[in-house]
Structure 1
Amino acid sequence: MSASRFPIFDRRFLLTSLATLPLLSASYRLASAQAQPDPLPSWNDGATKTSIRNFVARVTTQGGPDFVPPDKRIATFDNDGTLWIEQPMYVQLAFILDRVKALAPMHPEWKTKQPFAAVLDNDFKALAASGEKGLVELVAVTHAGMTTAEFEKITTDWLATARDHRFKRPYTELVYQPMLELLAYLRANGFRTFIASGGGIEFMRPWTERIYGVSPEQVIGSSIKTRFEIKDGAPTLFRLPDINFIDDKAGKPVGINEHIGRRPIAAFGNSDGDLEMLQWATLGAPGVRFGLIVHHTDAVREYAYDRHSHFGKLDVALDAAAVNKWTVVNMKNDWKRIFAFD
């Protein structure tokens, strides 16, 4: 029997068929992906959304030149202004101000002592003039002098009752829906997602898993010192009025290295405080890297601010984004909605 009478057994036919299999497979994967629900429905179609999906596709395509094993798929996110609101002030600062006012009846001397008098008088100009030294004093009295369990209850109770003055909603509802989708999308593609924030690590840990799906051990933040004690026969960690670590600016790569032990391949931020984290994740390292900056451009649905803002200033990092080819989210144009309740 001649093989030529049965083309399926012809060597040339077989080789040609095998050569087309990757193309057919790629076409099938593309068609399947298009048939799936959009994992980023709150993102408008365009270059920003495409850059995210292209990056994820490149690092997750088995056998591809840019494939990254799941154990190395690390993504770090800033919190304030990147995952939730930071205007007209950082949420943790709002907590500090409320906490000072709650404690004030036990400290009559605060009425004439700065920076406490500025808080009680709602004198934000005087508060700003107190600078970093004043903020450290406020942190010392509002975040220390208690166990870690007691502080967790204080922050949890405050978040349950506090409301943003503009939106009249709990702060935990003022999280960015597109970023929640992005977190879920990355995790669905084998990424581990970490928070690397200048905010207090123990201020964030009680609620990040419920709100973001980020477990406490994957939260990196600023911290004060703690001391192990036996209190009433039970082991406790007591919070001391001394700064331990500031997880901001150049501190972010340090904190990431100490907590994770791996260099991120993707980083997401919104301000100059995130510049070094984005540099650490994307520059001078092998393989495909991804950096993204959320640019607040929507004064109607949220806020518009960048180079001259007191909170979340975006100046040097915005210029660096163009040089380093980081993706910049134009909130007004790239997001269909900002909050889940929109």
Structure 2
Amino acid sequence: MHPNTPSGITRRVMLSSLALVPALSGLSRPIPATAQATGGDPLPSWNNGTAKQAILDFVRATTDPSSPSHVTPEDRIAAFDQDGTLWVEHPVYTQVVYCLDRVPAVVAKRPELRTVEPFKTVLSGNREAMAKLPMKDLEKILAATLTGMSVEDFQAEASKWLATARDPRWKRPYTELVYQPMLEVLRYLRDSGYRTYIVTGGGQDFVRVYAQQVYGIPPEQVVGTAGGTKFGYAKDGKPFLTKEPKLLLNNNDAGKPEGIHLMIGRRPKAAFGNSVGDREMLEWVGAGDGPGLKMLVLHDDATREYAYGPAQGLPDSRVGTFTAALQEEAKKNGWPVISMKNDWKRIFPFE
């Protein structure tokens, strides 16, 4: 990671922007965290199978006081990756789309950037040219759109964008492209005394803007890639924090268990991911004492969502890569792999 990489963006996210598509805007609002389960089934959007049964068995075994696998309430912690695990990550991470969408507003405040690269290229709307931008230029875009402002201004701008931006495929707000089956898992675990955390390679400040409303997860339970802030005083003497292009935590790969230890202080009993960036988190959870649930989401439904791997012969992808080696490790360690195509009756709440 470049030492001046802006807060909230990992190299994984920056590389994904090589396939970026600028987002169009549309009016809407984020959705509630979940729909209520019906008929006594806590996971109504799941087909019966080994993946669903693994979740049910884990919760029953760890919450039954008479069970040898019982977990005390204070140790009931579950960690969830976000991109590709809780919501759509293709064809480009949502936060990268946000950064590109923010360029016109940044240029409006700093007109001198209009004729300066890479801002000139982004303003042109030329996808082919944007895909060729070198890493140093991408870092300039990220720095300009994610730092140099107060934390309150960032929260306000991100909230405004999330309420209006629409995904080009579904024509819906990005906050509606969450997976209904995973919302049910979040609720089921919380109803069973678990605290649910988001552990993401994406920007901590960005995810905290909407996590409570979309997932029912408060901002203090979001662990993500974190940048620095600087304390200062306004002219009226009011203190404020400014977001700086200083990386504090790269919360991806090995950074995930490191971030969990730093921010949570307890090893989770359950962890959910979908890519090689989640491997170390699942390994670390599996190395703990007592019962543990480690699961991976496989995107194998090109009709209802997307299909990419390259595990199982699916198309390769630099966004949310699920390799054959990761699948082999999951098989070896007994990590259930969730097939979106076979295990989920529905994918989105709006279906």
Task: Give the TM bin, normalised by the shorter chain.
Answer: 0.7 to 0.9
Deviation at 1:230, TM superposition (A): 1.4
User: Which stretch shows the higher mean deviation, 174-183 or 60-69?
Assistant: 60-69
Deviates more, 1:160-169 or 1:239-248: 239-248
| 1:1-33 Cα shifts (integer Å, max 9, x gaps) | xxxxxxxxxxxxxxxxxxxxxxxxxxxxxxxxx
Mark the structure with the bigger radius of gyration. 1
Distance change >3 Å, CA 67–CA 152, structure 1 → 2: same
- Per-residue CA distance 1:204-248 (angstroms, 9 max, x = gap): 112101110100100001122101111132111111122222111
Counterpart in the other structure of 1:263: 267
1:120 pairs with 2:123: yes
Q: Normalization by structure 2: what TM-score?
A: 0.83
2:297 aligns to what SS in structure 1? strand
Partner of 2:19: none
Distance in 1 between residues matched to 2:138 and 2:336, nearest whole Å: 33
Please say if residues 145 and 240 of structure 1, whose CA atoms lie closer than 8 Å, have aligned partners that are also in contact: yes
| Structure 2 letter corresponding to 1:309 | S
Pick one of 160, 166, 169 that aligns with 2:169.
166
CA distance in 1, matches of 2:113, 2:49: 57
The alignment status of 1:49 with 2:52, answered yes or no, reads yes
Aligned partner of 2:301 in structure 1 is 298
Return the structure number with greater relative CO, CA threshold 8 A, min gap 6.
Answer: 2
The reply to whether residue 145 of structure 1 matches residue 153 of structure 2 is no
Q: Are the counterparts in 1 of residues 117 and 137 from structure 2 also a CA contact under 8 Å?
A: no
Q: CA deviation at 1:118?
A: 4.1
The one of 166, 189, 193 equivalent to 1:186 is: 189
Q: Which amino acid aligns with 1:93?
A: V
C-alpha contact 1:78 1:269 (8 A) present in aligned 2: yes
Cα distance, 1:130 vs structure 2? 4.4
Aligned AA (2:264): I
**Comparing 118-127 and 147-156, the one that deviates more:** 118-127
Q: Is the 8 A contact 2:276 2:322 kept in 1?
A: yes
Change (3 A) 1:132 1:61: farther
Q: Which stretches in structure 2 are left out of the alignment for 5+ residues?
A: 1-37, 311-315
Letter in 2 for 1:234: K
Distance 1:299 1:261, change over 3 A: same
CA distance in 2, matches of 1:129, 1:243: 25
**Which residue, out of 230, 244, 250, partners 1:246?**
250
CA contact (8 A) 1:197 1:247 kept: yes
Q: 1:61 aligns with which of 52, 64, 67?
A: 64
Relative to structure 1, the CA distance from residue 131 to residue 329 in structure 2 (aligned partners, 3 Å threshold; closer, same or farther) is farther
Aligned residue among 222, 225, 230 for 1:227: 230
Q: Does 1:324 align with 2:333?
A: yes
RMSD, matched Cα = 1.7
Closer, same or farther: CA 41–318 of 1 in aligned 2, 3 Å: same
Tell me by how many angstroms 1:128 deviates.
4.9
C-alpha distance in 2 between matches for 1:47 and 1:122: 46
Match of 2:25 in 1: none
Asked if residue 310 in structure 1 is aligned to residue 310 in structure 2, the reply is: no
Paired position in structure 2 for 1:279: 283
